[in-house]
């Protein structure tokens, strides 16, 4: 029978003890997409959105989200992140914005959840800022793109 890492011998939820793990540089990248109307996308790109610079606010929100991951996700370790980045790529052909995030640290546990939280909070903030203009926006495609460091080394999803 496989042992579960987040359940103790009594079947109770338990935070994994990472104290015996080696400190390594760990990095994770994630992405999410926000689909929207062409009109909304153009307003963001042109800087004409009535709430201001949507990307700047969403970037800050994503970075803050990564820093708060342990407060949002039960059993996640509070981490001393050394780098969080959130970037946006406009895909006008598909009427969407691709959000990518990066989380990095030197530590004993991975940063996939922080990268995912950064991308998702940035997407939620973009949605929040634009919902009055375009309530039919769709957030999708949230996933880990890559991770490095730790015992498993380099990982990318299968195609």
Active site residues: 128
Residue 33, token pair as written in the block? 């997409």
Sign, Cα dihedral of 3, 105, 74, 97? negative
Q: Report the SS3 class of residue 63.
A: helix
Cα–Cα distance, 23 to 8 (Å, whole number): 24
Listing DSSP states for 7-32 in one string gives B-TTS-B-----TTSPPEEEEEEEEE
User: Residues with Cβ < 8 Å from 20, sequence gap 6 or more?
Assistant: none
């Amino acid at each position: 029978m496989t042992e579960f890492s987040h359940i103790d011998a009594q079947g109770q939820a338990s935070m994994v003890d990472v104290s015996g793990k080696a400190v390594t540089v760990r990095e994770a990248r994630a992405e999410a997409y926000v689909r929207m109307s062409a009109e909304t996308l153009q307003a963001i790109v042109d800087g004409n959105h009535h709430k201001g610079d949507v990307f700047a606010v969403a970037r800050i929100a994503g970075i803050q989200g990564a820093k708060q991951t342990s407060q949002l996700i039960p059993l996640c370790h509070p981490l001393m992140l050394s780098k969080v980045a959130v970037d946006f790529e406009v895909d006008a052909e598909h009427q969407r914005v691709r959000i990518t995030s990066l989380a990095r640290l030197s530590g004993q546990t991975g940063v996939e959840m922080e990268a995912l939280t950064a991308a998702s909070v940035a997407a939620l903030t973009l949605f929040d800022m634009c919902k009055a203009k375009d309530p039919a926006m769709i957030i999708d495609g949230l996933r880990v793109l890559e991770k490095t460091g730790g015992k498993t080394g380099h990982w990318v999803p299968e195609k």
